[in-house]
A and B are shown apart, each in its own frame.
Chain A
Amino acid sequence: MDIPYTVEVRRDTGLTNGKIGIWLFLASEVMLFGALFASYILIRTGAPSWPRGDTILDVPLATFNTIVLISSSVTMVMAWASLMRRRFGTYRIYMGATILLGLVFLIVKYFEYGHHLRLGEFPSTNNFLAIYYTLTGLHMLHVFGGMVVNAYFWGPGAKLWKTNPVWFTNRVEHSGLFWHFVDLVWIFLFPTLYLL
């Protein structure tokens, strides 16, 4: 049996099921990160002293990663726009670039984590590092998850383009919404952890 409302919109919602599904999922994600941000505020305001992020963390590296993630958001939306223009070859280039930029982000984070761990700065060292590893670690898991889904739509999942291009375009749009959300979270994490 076919999955209903993957291409045609429901009359009652005016949306495809996939679209409403991904937004409901993102709403739950807002609450997940929101809970951690609230914890950060509570821990920071309750601490007798709190270090400025730039005295412990590498701001130029994080700025570079911010640029990488914002760029990946643009390539992601351009991948979707390419499908809307029915240019599958261009889609593959943009989607490939999105995956590679995600990989660059994770590699930079690997070096950043490695540097701190070599200095003996663990999550158990102090509250600042505990919340830093928790927030950035959860964010990295999201980047990795997004990359896996994007890689599927770049590779084996792209077969759908031949049989049902609209459904495939919708799927890429939903995957893009998640990817942009991951970018959006980083936009708030970067100043919160590194600059304040």
Chain B
Amino acid sequence: MTSDHAAASMTSDHAVDIDRHVKVYITVFVALMVLTIVTVAISRLHLSVPIAVTVALLVAIIKGSLVACYFMHLISEKKLIYAVLALTVAFFIALMALPVLTFFDGYWIHV
């Protein structure tokens, strides 16, 4: 697609789509605000650490997913981007698993 063609499509083909997107952005913004208040409110309940960590991370994952899916348009992205991110997620999980595995150091030594 040449830049002229692309420029033309920006005005005609996508105009309705963009209007729809803007409504979604506003909805996501409200959801993020509500979830921020929820995050702070939950912390005031002084739950036990494992439950507090689980709930806080769950809310953060929901908020993060909303940002990634809608603001970063991941919900309608090309396969190559998904492939790059799948690889990133795999390495990220491995990275997070490293400190968790240290729990088992003593276990393996004493068994």
Interface set of A (CB-CB < 8 Å, partner B): 7-9, 13-15, 19-20, 23-24, 27, 30-31, 34-35, 37-39, 41-42, 45-46, 54, 59, 63, 66-67, 70-71, 73-74, 76-78, 81, 83-86, 164-167, 169, 176-177, 180-181, 183-184, 187-188, 190-192, 195-196
Q: Check: B76 CB closer than 8 A to any chain A CB.
A: no
Q: What residues of chain A lie closer than 8 Å to B110, measured between beta carbons? A: none
A196-B52 contact, Cβ under 8 Å, with A23-B81, A59-B40, A78-B25: yes
Q: Is the interface of A mostly helix, strand, loop or mixed?
A: helix
Q: How far is the CA of A78 from the CA of B102 in the complex (A)?
A: 45
Q: Provide the B20-40 mask, 1 if CB < 8 A to any CB of A, else 0.
A: 011001101100110010011
Contact, CB under 8 Å: B71 / A77: yes
Nearest Cβ distance between residue A86 and chain B, in whole angstroms?
Answer: 5
Nearest Cβ distance between residue A33 and chain B, in whole angstroms?
Answer: 9
Q: Provide the B81-97 mask, 1 if CB < 8 A to any CB of A, else 0.
A: 10011011001100110
Contact, CB under 8 Å: A13 / B80: yes
A191-B56 contact, Cβ under 8 Å, with A27-B87, A84-B18, A183-B67: yes
Contact, CB under 8 Å: B67 / A14: no
Interface set of B (CB-CB < 8 Å, partner A): 1-3, 6-7, 10-11, 14-15, 18, 21-22, 25-26, 28-29, 32-33, 36, 39-40, 43, 49, 52-53, 56-57, 59-60, 63-64, 67-68, 71-72, 78-81, 84-85, 87-88, 91-92, 95-96, 98-100, 102-103
In the complex, 16 of the A-B residue pairs with CB atoms within 8 angstroms, ordered by the A residue number, are: A7-B3, A27-B87, A34-B96, A42-B102, A54-B43, A73-B71, A74-B26, A74-B28, A74-B29, A84-B10, A84-B14, A85-B15, A165-B7, A166-B6, A183-B71, A191-B60
Nearest Cβ distance between residue A42 and chain B, in whole angstroms?
Answer: 4
Contact, CB under 8 Å: B36 / A165: no
Contact, CB under 8 Å: A70 / B59: no
Contact, CB under 8 Å: A41 / B92: no
Q: Is the interface of B mostly helix, strand, loop or mixed?
A: helix
Contact, CB under 8 Å: B1 / A8: yes
Contact, CB under 8 Å: A81 / B57: no
A23-B85 contact, Cβ under 8 Å, with A41-B96, A74-B25, A190-B39: yes
Contact, CB under 8 Å: A42 / B99: yes
A63-B2 contact, Cβ under 8 Å, with A31-B92, A34-B95, A42-B99: no
Question: With A184-B64, A187-B67 given, can you name 4 additional A-B contacts, CB distance below 8 Å?
Answer: A20-B81, A164-B3, A165-B7, A191-B56
